[in-house]
Amino acid sequence: MSHYKIIFGGPVGAGKTTAVAAASDIPPVRTDAAASDEVRSIKPLTTVAMDYGLMKLADGSTIHLYGTPGQDRFDFMWEILTMGGIALILLVDNSRADPVKDMRFYLQAFKDFISRTAVAIGVTHTDAAPLPELSAYAQALEEEGMSCAPIFTVDARNKRDICLLIEAVLSVIDPLARA
């Protein structure tokens, strides 16, 4: 049976675990561990292997949602998790020191995967940090040669926001597909 996957990537604290839980039709499976490094100042627990959720479709087929660990020392997991993936949802925490640089880093890290599929970017924590605005990300995307990637303000807890990101990335992959 086909194993369709959507991957959630991005830095620590961007909301990947929350986003997978928001979009999932089942209670998500988490692989949290107590943070032991600089991550502890951001949150007490962090994803060390992956987060897993599932979207169930009418015909019984499923879409698997995988959240990657944010820390780059777990980057070996990124390659494993993206195998067979159909799209990347990249979440960026706007309250970090240089979120645009974060976005560039992850676009580079997932470059091969994106080149085979597509990416949509969600900017989180804009309530805590309204700047930079989306236009700054759009400018960086332009410089990366990806000006047409969807980029939205999102609340990772909000199912509608996360589903809109997924809808956007699917529209980029196949705009002729219609519900």
Partner 1 sequence: MSNTPRLRLCHAGMEGRSLHAFEIFLSRITSIEFQITPEDQADVGFIDLDHERGPQLLEEQRRLFPSRPLIVATQKALASNDALVVPLGKPIGLGAFTAALEQVRTLLPASWAAPTPLEAAATPAPAPVQAQPAPVAASAAPQDEHSLMAQQGQDSLFLLRQQEERMAAFYVGTKPDIDLNDATARVAVFYEPANFLQGTISRARSHAQEIGRPVKINDGLGTVLYLSPGDNHAHQVCSNNSLRALAQLPTQPSVQMGQIDHHELASMEDFPTRPLISLEWDAALWASRGRLPLGTDLDAPVRLNAWPDLTRLVIPPEAMRIAGLWSRQRLSLRQTLEQLQIPQRYVFAFYSACHALNLVSQPELARQTQAAHQHPTPSATPEPQESVAPQQPAMRGLFKRLLGKLLGTRLGEAEAG
Sequence-separated (6 or more) residues with CB below 8 Å from residue 137: 92, 99, 100, 103, 121, 123, 151
Smallest separation (angstroms) from partner 1 to the CB of 130? 9
Smallest separation (angstroms) from partner 1 to the CB of 172? 5
* 13, 16, 19, 25 alpha-carbon torsion, rounded to 10°: -140
**Any contact of residue 146 with partner 1 (CB under 8 A)?**
yes
Figure out which of the listed residues 39, 42, 100, 134 binds partner 1, where binding follows CB under 8 A.
134
Figure out which of the listed residues 27, 41, 76, 135 binds partner 1, where binding follows CB under 8 A.
135
Kindly write out the interface string for residues 72-111 of this chain, putting x where it contacts partner 1 by CB under 8 A and - elsewhere.
--------------x------------------------x
**47 - beta bridge partners?**
32
Q: Which is nearer to partner 1, 35 or 65 (CB)?
A: 65
CA 148 to chain centre: 17
Give the integer Cα–Cα distance in Å for 85 and 99: 25
Figure out which of the listed residues 3, 43, 101, 116 binds partner 1, where binding follows CB under 8 A.
116
Which residue matches tokens 């951001």? 42
Give the integer Cα–Cα distance in Å for 146 and 100: 14
Give the integer Cα–Cα distance in Å for 71 and 45: 12
Q: Which is nearer to partner 1, 2 or 41 (CB)?
A: 2
Smallest separation (angstroms) from partner 1 to the CB of 46? 26
**Any contact of residue 168 with partner 1 (CB under 8 A)?**
yes
